[in-house]
Every structure is written in structure tokens, then in C-alpha cells.
Structure 1
Amino acid sequence: MDRIQKYYVFILLNLFLISNLQSSEEISKNGASEKKKQKFELLLKRQTYSYIPYNFTSYSEKTDPYESIETNHLQQNQKVLVPAVFSYENYEKNYRAEISYYEVELVNPNSNVIRSNSNGLSAERFYYSPLARSEFEANFYKIVSPLQNWNLYLGGGLRNINKYTYGKYMLDGAFQEYFYTYGPQVSIQSSYQFTENFSANISLDLFYTEGTRFFRTPIISTDTLVFTNGSAGTKGIFRGYESEISLQYRFHENMKFHLGYNQIYSYFSYLHFDQLNLTYNISSPSLTYITNGSRSGNYEILRGFFVGFSVFF
């Protein structure tokens, strides 16, 4: 992550220097810079995401009829990210194209788990498997200006969501479950210019993605094995929205400072999920049992404040 941040900073500084040189050359040739007909912009954010994963929200549903599970107080679920957004805007034809990307990993998420069954009530600190989620977006907007200082960006595009759950498959640390999903989204952005250097943005995306599930049967321990009938035909679906509000201050001709809040709410569910698990205990064969592994859908939430800098040229 540190190398990625240094790489982003290096790109930002170089683009800043290039834009300065271009502005200086244009002013020296023409005496005054002409009004630009197009704009490229690179935005880098430093965002602290609080990630509530599906593994946590659905854990209480992975139970048998004779046991009840309650989860609360999720911990170690925050991560500092550097999302990147690159956009192109054409003022003559009134359109905007934009791509963005981020990836978040949780190494050791854990929560309180309260179990209630025929043996009584028990409480423990439960550690979930490491997991990761990444998103890529490509959007195209038509620019509409209801008022002189107010722009609306109406459009949509494609969203790709990948989700990993890691486990110790033959002790090599490979993924246990992986989803590759993609689908359409509708997007709207609103930008209002209060003064020459100060503006505010609000955006909302509605998305639906669907894709293939890849699964590897986990080994719980050296004494306990799990056999499954496989996951052929099983898919994963994400549907939800992303909202963001931010303030921008233009402190240089080619640079802006951003301060805002972002939230991604997605409801995840399985499609064609019909899996049977056989759990076998080598030392105690009598403890062998079969479960259907069925799970209902539940939500994932990523949210947090961010600061950012953008350079445009």
C-alpha cells in the first residue's frame, strides 16, 4: 500500500509540473491563457473506510435450527485507501467520461459472538477469514446546466465488483471463495459553483452486478475435513447504491483540494446456490454431519470521510 501511495504522489507531482509548464507556455505565446475547451483531471483521495462485510452480517444465518447466533461489536474493519479517479470533460460537446478504481482488504476482522443452544449460552471473540473487495467503474455523462453556476451530469456505465474470501486451502493461503461480477449502473452528479474557487458536489450511483462464483473446499483443521458437492452454476449478485458529498477549493490554477464523505451500500445474494457440505472428524467419526450451507442475502457497507487533491490540465 505504501508503494502504491508513493506511486500516486509521483504521478500527481509530475502532472502538476506538466500543467504548470503548459500554462506558462500558453501565457508567454498569447499574452493571456485562452479559455479551455476540454479538461483532463486526476483525483487521488486518502480515505479511511469502515467496512462492514457480508461475512459479518450473514454469520448469524449460517446456523442449524437448534442453535441461535448473535454477532456484534465488529473490530479491525477499518482501512486507509487511496482511490483514484481519472476524468475527461469536453466543454464544447457537453460530455464527461470517467473511470475510477479502489481495493480494500481486511486481514483480521473479528466480533463478539453469542451462541444459544441446548447446551446453554456462550460468548466468544470470533475471527473471520481475511477478505478483500475491489471495484472498477467506467461512466459517461451528458452535461446539463440548469443555471449559470450549476451543472448536472446525467449518465451511467459499467461497474465491476470483485470479492475474495481467503482461507487455508492445503495451507497455501489461497482464496476459499471468489466472485467476479459486473453490470450496469445509472449515475447522476450535481456540481454548484459558489465562487470562482469554491464549489460543492453531490453524486449518486445505482448499480446491479452479477457474476461467477469460484469456490475451493476448505480444510478446517488437521483432524476435520469438509467435502462439498461443488458450486457449479452458482453466481453472486450485488445491487445497491453509492453516494458521495464533497467540497472543493481551487487553490491553484490547475489544482483543487477536496473534502467529503462517501458510502457504498450493497446487498449481496447468491444465485442458484444449492450446496451440501459433509464434515468429517478423523479422530471422532461419530461427529460426522451434513449441512446444506444455504444462506440468505445480506448487506455490505463501506463508508468514510476523505481528503483529496486533484490536478487538471
Structure 2
Amino acid sequence: MDLFQKYNIFILLNLILISSLQGSEETPKNGTSEKKKQKFELLLKRQTYSFIPYNFTSYSEKTDPNESIETRHLQQNQKVLVPAVFSYENYEKNYRAEISYYEVELVNPNSNVIRSNSSGLSAERFYYSPLARSEFEANFYKIISPIQNWNLYLGGGLRNINKYTYGKYMLDGAFQEYFYTYGPQVSIQSSYQFIENFTANLSVDVFYTEGTRFFRTPMISTDTLVFTNGSAGTRGIFRGYESEISLQYKFHENMRFHLGYNQIYSYFSYLHFDQLNLSYHLSSPSYISISNGSRSGNYEILRGFFLGFSVFF
């Protein structure tokens, strides 16, 4: 998954489109241009995401009844991303269409793990499996202007969330567990120009996505093999919200700077999950253990500040 290659292609195509549209524009003979009836916008953000994945929040709940596990101080869970947003706005018919995409990957997330059982108390540094998450959105809005300089965008659309866990197969480029989910969302945006060239923006999305689970039985170690009864019929569900607040500065007629904060809070859970794990230890052929792979739902959070640059054409 070459994230930068995807964005390089995305940016190149839009720059070509901008150049062609600007080259085709003509200035009227009187030297003034007519007021635009529509606009396109390409927004690129440089955002440092702090990613708290489901693998971390649910680890303490996948334990033996006779053992207590507590996770603390997640590390190596930050990533610099370049989310992209492309939109079209029609002033005559008062509507806006928008698409956006991002992808985040954590290669070596780890945390302190404190275990408590009949043998006593122990602490260790635990390394979680490499993982990734990507999101694509397509939204349509109706524009309402309650007062001058204030626009409300009311609408919604489709959100697609993909979730990968690589396990021992990171070097092979294959996943251990993969979810492809999609579903509806309701979206509200607010834009208010409080002084010349400065605009405050606020947006909230509420979403629900559901999709199929694909699973590959992992090999825990060179000494231990794990077999499962399969994952037929198992699905995954994301439900949550995304909120964003930002300040926009217009330094050119067709260019803007953005400074803001974004958070995506989602609760992930399994649907029709009934998995049994059979562990076989090569060093002790007589020792075979069976465990229930069931786990409860838990949350995932992505959040961070961003700097953005947008071009209108």
C-alpha cells in the first residue's frame, strides 16, 4: 500500500485539471470578470494523527479468566498523513458535493502490559501486530444561509472504512485479518466569515458502516501453531462520529490556508463471531489447548492538528 504514490497521482491529475481550466478562462473586454456561479476546491492537509487502535483498547479483554491484563502508555502510534478533500459547489442551486480519502499505517505499535495471575505480578513491553486503516467519503450537501457570511451545509452520504491487521505476514504483504465496511452517514458543516479574509469552520459526521471479515489463521511462533474453525459469516461494524474545527485564511482570491483539529471516534465490534482457536505446541505434542476467540467491542480513535492548503478554480 504505497500511500504517497496514490496521493502523487491524485495531486498530479488535479493540477492538470486546474491548469486546463485556468488556461481556458477569458477576461471580458471591460477588464472585469463575472461573479462565479460555481467553484471547485482541492484541499490538502498535513496532519499528525495519533492513532489509538482497537488492537490496543481490546487487548486486555482477550484474556484468561484467571489472569488480569492492563495496557498502558501506547507508543509509536503517531503518523504524519496528507488527507485530501476534493469538492464542487454550485451557488445557483445551493448544493455542494465532496469526496475525501486518507490511509494510516502503524508498523510497530507497542505498550506496557501488566499481568496479574496466581503466579504474581509481571510487566513487559508488548508489540502489537502491524495494522492499517483507510477511509473514503462521498457526501452531498444542501447549502443554507441563515444570515450574511454564515453558511450551513446539511446532508450526508457514504463512508467506507477498511481495517487491516498484518500479523506475521507483514513482509509478505498479506493480512491476517481484513474488514471491508461501508454504510451511510449524516453530515453537518458550518462556515462563518467573522472578519475579512478569516473564516471559522465546524463540521460533525455521524456514521455507521458494516462489512465482511476476511481472516487467515496465524502461526503464533516457530514452536506454536494455531488453527481456527474459520470465519464464515463473521462481519465487522464501525459506528461513531467525526468532528473537525478549523480556521481559514484567504491570502489570495483563489487560495486559502487552514489550521485546525480533527478527531474520528469509532466503536468497532464483531457480528456473528463464533471462533475457536486450537493451539498445538511442537515442543510438547501432548499439550493441545482450545480457546474461544470471542472478544467484546471497543473503540478506535484518530486525532490530531493539521495545516492545510486549498486551491479554488
Report the Cα distance in structure 2 between the residues aligned to 1:29 and 1:53, rounded to whole angstroms. 59
Mapping of residues 1-313 of structure 1, within 5 Å = 1-3=3-5, 7=9, 10=12, 17=19, 21=23, 25-27=25-27, 29-169=29-169, 172-313=172-313
Structure 1 unaligned spans of 5+: none
1:26/1:32 contact within 8 Å kept: no
The alignment partner of 2:306 has SS state of strand
CA gap of 1:114–1:286, structure 2 versus 1, over 3 A, is: farther
CA gap of 1:170–1:126, structure 2 versus 1, over 3 A, is: closer
Report the Cα distance in structure 2 between the residues aligned to 1:142 and 1:246, rounded to whole angstroms. 21
Structure 2 unaligned spans of 5+: none
Q: Report the alpha carbon displacement of residue 276 of structure 1 after superposing the two structures with TM.
A: 0.3
Report the Cα distance in structure 1 between the residues aligned to 2:254 and 2:21, rounded to whole angstroms. 7
How many residue pairs get matched? 311
Instruction: Give the letter aligned to residue 247 of structure 2.
Output: L
What RMSD over aligned residues (CA atoms) do the two structures have, in Å? Answer: 1.8
CA gap of 1:30–1:219, structure 2 versus 1, over 3 A, is: farther
Report the Cα distance in structure 2 between the residues aligned to 1:38 and 1:252, rounded to whole angstroms. 18
CA gap of 1:247–1:16, structure 2 versus 1, over 3 A, is: farther
The alignment partner of 2:273 has SS state of coil
- Percent sequence identity is 85
Deviates more, 1:287-296 or 1:42-51: 287-296
2:130/2:170 contact within 8 Å kept: no
Q: Report the alpha carbon displacement of residue 13 of structure 1 after superposing the two structures with TM.
A: 5.5
1:108/1:128 contact within 8 Å kept: yes
The alignment partner of 1:144 has SS state of strand
Report the Cα distance in structure 2 between the residues aligned to 1:170 and 1:265, rounded to whole angstroms. 26
Instruction: Give the letter aligned to residue 172 of structure 2.
Output: D
Q: Report the alpha carbon displacement of residue 285 of structure 1 after superposing the two structures with TM.
A: 2.5
The alignment partner of 2:80 has SS state of strand
Report the Cα distance in structure 1 between the residues aligned to 2:214 and 2:5, rounded to whole angstroms. 30
The alignment partner of 1:153 has SS state of strand
Deviates more, 1:297-306 or 1:196-205: 196-205
Instruction: Give the letter aligned to residue 85 of structure 2.
Output: V
Q: Report the alpha carbon displacement of residue 6 of structure 1 after superposing the two structures with TM.
A: 5.0
1:169/1:217 contact within 8 Å kept: no
2:45/2:306 contact within 8 Å kept: yes
Q: Deviations over 1:185-225 (max 9, x none)?
A: 00000000123421111000000000000000000112210
Q: Report the alpha carbon displacement of residue 168 of structure 1 after superposing the two structures with TM.
A: 2.1
Which TM-score applies when normalising by structure 2?
0.94
Report the Cα distance in structure 1 between the residues aligned to 2:195 and 2:14, rounded to whole angstroms. 25
The alignment partner of 1:212 has SS state of strand
2:129/2:168 contact within 8 Å kept: no
Q: Deviations over 1:220-247 (max 9, x none)?
A: 1122100100011000000000000011
Report the Cα distance in structure 2 between the residues aligned to 1:278 and 1:13, rounded to whole angstroms. 54
Report the Cα distance in structure 1 between the residues aligned to 2:75 and 2:176, rounded to whole angstroms. 22
1:144/1:151 contact within 8 Å kept: yes
Report the Cα distance in structure 2 between the residues aligned to 1:69 and 1:259, rounded to whole angstroms. 39
